[in-house]
Amino acid sequence: MQGARRGTRSQDSRDLSWISKIQVNQPAVLRRAEQIQARRTVKKEWQAAWLLKAVTFIDLTTLSGDDTSSNVKRLCYKAKYPIREDLLKALNMHDKGITTAAVCVYPARVSDAVKALKTAGCTIPVASVATGFPAGQTHLKTRLEEIRLAVEDGATEIDVVINRTLVLTGQWEALYDEIRQFRKACGEAHLKTILATGELASLTNVYKASMIAMMAGSDFIKTSTGKETVNATFPVAIVMLRAIRDFFWKTGNKIGFKPAGGIRSAKDSLAWLSLIKEELGDEWLTPELFRIGASTLLSDIERQIYHHVTGRYAAYHDLPMC
């Protein structure tokens, strides 16, 4: 990720009065979202190529109450070897170093993930959720300490959640100050700010929160925790991507985007890649600027690759976690 760009956009002095004047044209956003959903997907060799590319954008995630060191170890191994080697050989892609973009776990499991990846001889980043995930309703001091502990344990990416109350009540300076403190607590780790868009009440609030998060120093803005009733949707994504584009035009700084929650099928992943290409361009189709937060998506992508290579769908035992 382009850590150097942080210094040019994280300024303590700011004028946020213009934020209250922003309005999003919801009917236009919804029309654009309908166009995306109606589009046909790519087929055959093109589809296989795009699916393999999608694998490299996945933050392979486990955020369950019953997470253990053993299932984190399996997840890390799968992150290093996301697609069966014989399938990659059939596509002549076995020597391309295809891995997922990162492994994402709870703070208490960061050390397990770091150890497992080191044992596997792998440099895949470890991401950790933090700041009272998923609700963000714990005391600020506790949330900041959670970030510091995750970084101390070896996390190089931190997915924080904002206090949604600050958005719903229009406390934009307070939101800015909160994210600035998250930025400072992360140190050299990359900051991915989760907006929890399903709980922000309007697309206008989504745009405003996106701009505040970027102004405060976020390296990525992320749609959802995956725990809300409504997670990543195309209308929300369009608003966030337009905010990223506006921010780039105004500052020259490229901010990453991460949809998360409810992205489970290979077909879904292709739609998201297409959206990024059309809204932001090929420059954003890199793990440094685009991620997909998912726990089950990889299984369906591998299943589709299996079908492309063999002409039949795999049984459950044909594609194990590791």
Say whether 222 is catalytic: yes
Contact assessment for residue 252 and residue 47, using Cβ atoms and an 8 Å cutoff: no
With 0-12 CB in 10 A as exposed, 13-18 as middle and 19+ as buried, what is 287? middle
Q: How far apart (Å, rounded) are the C-alpha atoms in residues 229 and 83?
A: 31
Q: What is the 3-state secondary structure (H, E, C) of 249-273?
A: HHHCCCCEEECECCCCCHHHHHHHH
Say whether 80 is catalytic: no
- Widest CA span of the chain, in angstroms? 59
Residue 139's contacts (CB-CB under 8 Å, 6 or more residues apart) are none
- Provide the 3-class DSSP secondary structure of residue 190: strand
- Provide the 3-class DSSP secondary structure of residue 73: helix
Residue 128 DSSP class: E
Residue 88's contacts (CB-CB under 8 Å, 6 or more residues apart) are 94, 96, 98
Q: How far apart (Å, rounded) are the C-alpha atoms in residues 278 and 256?
A: 15
Bridge pairing between strands 126-130 and 157-161: parallel
Q: How far apart (Å, rounded) are the C-alpha atoms in residues 15 and 87?
A: 54
Q: Which two tokens stand for residue 65?
A: 């109450």
Q: Which of 73, 80, 254, 258 is catalytic?
A: 258
Q: Which amino acid is at 186?
A: C
Q: Which of 222, 227, 267, 277 is catalytic?
A: 222
Residue numbers annotated as active site: 222, 258
